Each structure stands twice: as C-alpha cells, then as structure tokens.
Structure 1
Amino acid sequence: MGRWQALLDDRNRFFWVLQAAGWSGYALVHYIGSLMHEMRDIYAIIILLGAYAGFLLTVPLRYLYRQIWDSKPWFLILVVLGSAYASASIWAVIDNATYWEIYKFGFRPESNWFYFKNTTAKFYIMLSWSGLYFGIKYYQMLQDEKQKALMATSMAHQAQLKMLRYQLNPHFLFNTLNAISTLILIKENELANRMMTKLSSFLRFSLDNEPIKKIPLAREIEALMLYLDIEKVRFDERLKVTIEVDESVENALVPSLFLQPLIENSIKYAIAKMEEGGEVIVHAEHEGEDLVVVISDNGPGVKQPADDLVNRGGVGLANTRDRLQALYGKRYSFTLSANEPSGMRVEIRIPFEQVDL
C-alpha cells in the first residue's frame, strides 16, 4: 500500500507507468486480435513498432496539453482535435511504412483511401488517449483540492483543540499563584514551596502532552494526582479524593488533562463551600463499546438546570464539553445530574480506544 501511494504521489513517475502499461496493453490486444487471422510471425514486430510509435507521439501531446491547460475551453478543444489528428496522421504514415516495407516487402497500395482510413482509426485512438489524460489530470486536481480542504479543516480543528486546552491554564494558574501568594504572606514558606514544586511538575506534564493527542487513562490519573497534590496543600484534610479505575481501562485513550477542570469545578463549587470539607470520586469502567468516566462529589449541589450549569458554571464544564465534541463529534455524551444523596455528578461516555502495547 505504501509503494502504491508513493507512486500516486509522484505524478511524473505515475504518468510513465500508465504510458508504458497503456501502450503495452494496446500491443497485446492488437496481437491477440491478429491471432484470429493467419498472420506471419513477423507481424508481431509490426505491432510492437506501431505501439512504440504511439508511445513516442503521445509524449509531446502531454507537454502541449500542460502548456494550454488554463486556456479557454473552445481553444483547448481545437488544440486537442488538431494535435490529435496531426499525431494520428504521422502515426499512420509510420505504421503504413513499417507495414508495407517490412511485412509486405515493398508492396504499396495504389490508392490513398487506405491511408485515410488508417489515419481516422488512429485519430480516435489519439482522442481516447487525450480524454484519458485530461480525465486523470482533472481527477488528480480534485484530489489535491480535497486534500487541501482536509488539511485546512484539520489545522482549524487542531487550533480549536489547542485553544480549548490552553484556555484552562490561565484560570488554574491564577488560583494556584493566588494561594501561593497567600501562604507567603502568612509566612507559610514551606507550604508555599511545596505548592510551587507541585505546580512546576503539573505544568511540565501539561507542556509535554499535546492538546490534540490522547493519552492512556493511567497517565491522565497521574496528572490528576499532581493537580490534587496542589489542592491538598490548600485544603489539607478537608479534601478527600477517591479514585476507582478498573484495570481493564487503564490503557484506554482519553484527551489529555480532561479530568482536571472537572475536579477543579467540584472543588470550587462543592468542597470550598463546606466547612467540614467533602469528597470527590472518580470512577472509570468499560461498558460495551464505551469508556464511562464519572466524577461525583457530596457537595450541596445546585438547583438550576443542568444545561444552565454547564454554560454558566465557569470555564471547566463548558470547555470539557467543547473539547469532547471537537474530538469525537457525535460519538460522546456529557451528562450533568444531581448526585445521591447530595452533590453533583458528571458522566462522560466516549468510544473505548486502547493504546497499542
């Protein structure tokens, strides 16, 4: 498959392969047709010489057609008809000369009618060759335009994903740096240093993973734990996190850093508002053809509709939903609902894709 694609990509080589194959096929068909008649063996040489003449005469046509490619249609048609007939006439003369000089040993017809019929037949062959040339050329141009459109769409898609991912960093950095500043002001330098170290590790992970690429869920959990280590410095014992990930989904591919904004949302709107703190649970399992990830908390919850909460609940929820839509199209679900007995619950379903080991 790779060699065939390389052949298609090399337009010049592709032309010569088709040129050689086409005229070889012409010679073969002509030879098979001659077997139906009692022809001498030397007739095979006549056929080869005729095919070779056609091969050589169509090469200039290629360069001529390339020169007039952008001309007006009427001019293009006239040039194709004229050049095809001129090539057919030359071919007929060469073909007749080789036929009568080699095969018939000098015998020549007395009338030019034979030459005219031969030229007409070869004119149709040249027109067919020209039609194939233009057809293949137009097909290649359409493929090029399609490829360019796909590339432009892909680049726009990648830019959108990068924008959505990097949109989270300023929001997260503001909260963390504000907490570090507070710790420094109250002389908690050791805690501030720990937070800064954890922040450095988390940002390094963020920069090392492209927003448009997917990573194994196990690695995503590692990044999540780096983030939680930062938050635990802020909330201490008030923040409890439980990770429930089946071994069967540890190698499942997920968008990089898609859990962090959801956990951040739970901490901001649930844990931070509870004096005694709270718990966030991350659960992941393989269900049918989907990977199901559930993030739930035991916070106070909210009374507004789920759709309004997604649109007004800060950057995290809407951003994650938009990233999933950009990556999976319609092959995902993002559901926000009340958790029992209290709190909020986010359920994400995406196609189960496993990393190759």
Structure 2
Amino acid sequence: MKIKQLKYYLIPAFWLIVTLLMIGQDLLFSALRGNPVVWADTLIFKIKWLLYIPITFIVFWLGEKLPLQSPHLVKNLFINLLISLAVSFLAVIVYSVLVTWFWNLFIGQSQFSIIFRRNLAVSLFNEFVNYWIILATHKAYTIFRQFQQAQLDKANLEKQLSDAKLGFLKMQLQPHFLFNTHHNIIGLMQKGDTEKATKMLMKLSDLLRLSLKENNDDLVPLKNEVQLLQLYLDILKVRFEERLDYQILINNDLQKAFVPPMLLQPLVENAVKYGIEPFAKQGKIEISAQNGQDKLKLLVKDNGIDTFGHFNFGIGLMNTQERLKNLFGEEAKLDITSNTPDNGITVIITLPLLK
C-alpha cells in the first residue's frame, strides 16, 4: 500500500487514539481525586479531538496546494495565516454546536451562545496553534518523502550509469575480438587457404550466435562461457594448428556458477597474443576453475613469456578488471602471477561464487 493511501487510515487512527487517551486521562484524574465519573460530561468534551480528523485532511490538502517553499513562500504563508484563522474559528463553531446538542440530549438545557463564548475564549488560540502544528507535520512528511524519492532517484541513476558503463565495456570487447578474428580470416584468404578461412568463418558465426543470445545479461552460467571459449579456441586452432594446444578443466558442478558474459575470452585472447603468437614453440593454454570459501577462482595459464617483466596488460584485461569492479566492487579481483619454474603467466580471476 502506498503512503498516500495509508494516510487515510493513519490519520483517523491517530486521532481516535488521542481521543481515547484524553478520556483515559479524565478517568484517571477522577479516580485519583475520588470524584465520581460523569461519562456524559467526559465524552461530550472529548469529541473535539475527533474533529481533527477532517481538519487534518484539510490542512494536508492545503499543504499540497499551498506549499511552504520558494518561490511563493511569503505568499503561501500569508494565505495559510488567513486560512488558519478561518479554520480555527469554524472549528470552534462546529465544536460548540456539537457540545450544545449533546448537552441538551444527555444532560440538560444549555444555550449555544454561552458554550460558544466559552470555547471562543478557551479554544480559539489552541485551534490556531494546532493548525500550524499539523501544517508543520505535513511539511516534515513532505521533506521526508522528497528525501526518500531523491535517494531512490540517486540509486536508479547510479544503476543506469553502471549499466551504461558495463554496456560500453562490452561494446569495446566485442569489436576488439571481431577485428582480430576478421583480420585472421583475411590473412588466410590472402594466402589462398580458403578451406581454413571458411572453417574459421563458420566457427565465428556459431560463436556470434551464442554470444548475442546472452549479451544483454549481466551474469550467465559458466557453462555458457565454456561453450563460447571452446568455439573461440577452435577458431584459433584453425589458424595455429599444432602450435596451439589447450585444455579446459572445469567440472560440471562449477559450470553451474554465474559469471559475467565474455569473461574468459579476453584472458585467453591476451594469452594467445602475448604468450603464444610471438613464439615458434608449441603454445599451451590451460583454463581451470577452483572453489574456495564461497569464492570462484578462474585461471588462464599459458607457457609463453619467460619473465613477468615481458607481460603486456592488454585492453581485454583492463576492460575485464573494470567490469569486475563495476559488478562486484571489492569482492572481485584480477591477479597475474608467473609460472615458476616454468615459463608463462597465469591470470587469476576471483569473484563471488553465485549459483
């Protein structure tokens, strides 16, 4: 239920509770003083609190129509001053009419003029003050509601900015990958190796079909990433043939975990570009996953460069690091270690284990 609808229940409930408390107060005083309880007298003079139910709705409505804020603050203050005097005077009249009617009905004869003069002297100032207390309460409620809306708008804006940033990083990754693969296909065709070029193009079509299917999701099952990775490595295998050997060592249980899409492909691409391609020896890439303390570790290991100092932190790794930061904050990280005593580099992604 919205707050605007809830007030139609809260306001009557509040003033009913106040009325009951005032009646209870009179009964307590009577008991402490040893005086008999005059129920009719007590109930008649406490009905005034129930009049604040319609008065509160009126003041709240005026608070919406004549808000106490710039640029019409002074004007609306003056109008509210006049209205508060009128409402206070009208409240005294209505209260006096009700008291006179109930008094004549349950106790005895009384004149309206006498009760009205008494209430005018005793209650008019109180009614005036209560009008402004109710108006101040509405103003406080309005400020609180505006603060809540501002916080909600801020959260939505931050999410939109984060989504836009992630979308931009995804757009950077895909053209970067497509450009490299397209360049490889052209190279094969220029060499006259149309069979390899055709095979690579077909694998590329399968990969694009699968990647576009889940591109709008922030998280996908790791199983999907493994399928994408196999297609990608098959594309590279067409080009490098025996120079490239790879293993994917991720068990079925961990493949159910959720990860950002296109998470591993940039790591493998970086390993191939800087750890396999520059060397004549057979390159090996090993992709594995580990589970530890509610964390998922993804490792991409190659046998390329002989020293860590020769490692190149390409755009794919930088974008991956930025995406992890946007999605998981401090809960995710990307580390790079040397394969001692063997050659090569291992890139390790640590992120929350989500299933």
Same-fold status (TM-score > 0.5)? yes
Structure 1 partner of 2:6: 14
Give the counterpart letter for 1:91 in structure 2. Answer: A
Deviations 1:245-265 (A, max 9, x none): 244422222111110000000
CA distance in 2, matches of 1:150, 1:260: 31
The secondary structure found in structure 1 opposite 2:256 is: coil
Decide whether the 8 Å contact of 1:291 with 1:352 is kept in 2. yes
Kindly state the Cα deviation for residue 41 of structure 1 after the two structures are TM-superposed. Answer: 5.8
Decide whether the 8 Å contact of 1:332 with 1:350 is kept in 2. yes
1:244 is aligned, of 249, 255, 260, to: 249
Question: Does residue 101 of structure 1 match 2:104?
Answer: no
Residues 236, 267 of structure 1: alpha-carbon distance in 2 compared, 3 angstrom cutoff: same
Residues 111, 16 of structure 1: alpha-carbon distance in 2 compared, 3 angstrom cutoff: closer
CA distance in 2, matches of 1:210, 1:286: 26
Question: Does residue 205 of structure 1 match 2:205?
Answer: no
Deviations 1:187-231 (A, max 9, x none): 433332222222122122222224561112222212211211211
Deviations 1:81-122 (A, max 9, x none): 543343233222211221122134441447834432223333
Structure 2 partner of 1:62: 60
Question: Does residue 145 of structure 1 match 2:150?
Answer: yes
Residues 178, 18 of structure 1: alpha-carbon distance in 2 compared, 3 angstrom cutoff: same
Decide whether the 8 Å contact of 1:297 with 1:345 is kept in 2. yes
CA distance in 2, matches of 1:110, 1:335: 85
Residues 171, 183 of structure 1: alpha-carbon distance in 2 compared, 3 angstrom cutoff: same
Q: Which moved more, 1:252-261 or 1:67-76?
A: 67-76
Structure 2 partner of 1:322: 322
User: Where do 1:36-55 residues align within 5 Å?
Assistant: 36=28, 37=30, 38-40=37-39, 44=43, 47=46, 50-55=48-53
CA distance in 1, matches of 2:46, 2:115: 23
Decide whether the 8 Å contact of 1:216 with 1:252 is kept in 2. yes
CA distance in 2, matches of 1:255, 1:211: 11
Give the counterpart letter for 1:22 in structure 2. Answer: F
Decide whether the 8 Å contact of 2:307 with 2:343 is kept in 1. no
1:266 is aligned, of 255, 263, 271, to: 271
2:21 is aligned, of 29, 32, 54, to: 29
Give the TM-score normalised by structure 1. Answer: 0.85
User: Where do 1:1-357 residues align within 5 Å?
Assistant: 6-8=1-3, 11=4, 13-36=5-28, 37=30, 38-40=37-39, 44=43, 47=46, 50-69=48-67, 70-71=69-70, 72-103=72-103, 104-108=107-111, 109=114, 112-210=117-215, 213-304=218-309, 309-310=312-313, 314-340=314-340, 341-354=342-355
Decide whether the 8 Å contact of 1:245 with 1:283 is kept in 2. yes
CA distance in 2, matches of 1:111, 1:19: 27
Structure 2 partner of 1:3: none
Q: How many residues align?
A: 340
Which of 1 and 2 has greater Rg? 2
Deviations 1:58-90 (A, max 9, x none): 333233222222445455544445433432332
Residues 57, 304 of structure 1: alpha-carbon distance in 2 compared, 3 angstrom cutoff: same
Deviations 1:324-344 (A, max 9, x none): 111122222211121121101
Kindly state the Cα deviation for residue 127 of structure 1 after the two structures are TM-superposed. Answer: 2.8
Decide whether the 8 Å contact of 2:304 with 2:344 is kept in 1. yes
The secondary structure found in structure 2 opposite 1:167 is: helix
Aligned sequence identity (%): 25
Gaps of 5+ in 2: 31-36
Gaps of 5+ in 1: 1-5
Decide whether the 8 Å contact of 2:223 with 2:255 is kept in 1. yes
Decide whether the 8 Å contact of 1:46 with 1:98 is kept in 2. no
The secondary structure found in structure 2 opposite 1:273 is: coil
CA distance in 2, matches of 1:163, 1:28: 62
The secondary structure found in structure 1 opposite 2:299 is: strand
The secondary structure found in structure 1 opposite 2:125 is: helix
Give the TM-score normalised by structure 2. Answer: 0.85
Q: Which moved more, 1:247-256 or 1:160-169?
A: 247-256
Give the counterpart letter for 2:19 in structure 1. Answer: A
CA distance in 2, matches of 1:42, 1:234: 100
Kindly state the Cα deviation for residue 319 of structure 1 after the two structures are TM-superposed. Answer: 1.1
Decide whether the 8 Å contact of 2:100 with 2:115 is kept in 1. no
Residues 175, 203 of structure 1: alpha-carbon distance in 2 compared, 3 angstrom cutoff: same
Residues 301, 168 of structure 1: alpha-carbon distance in 2 compared, 3 angstrom cutoff: farther
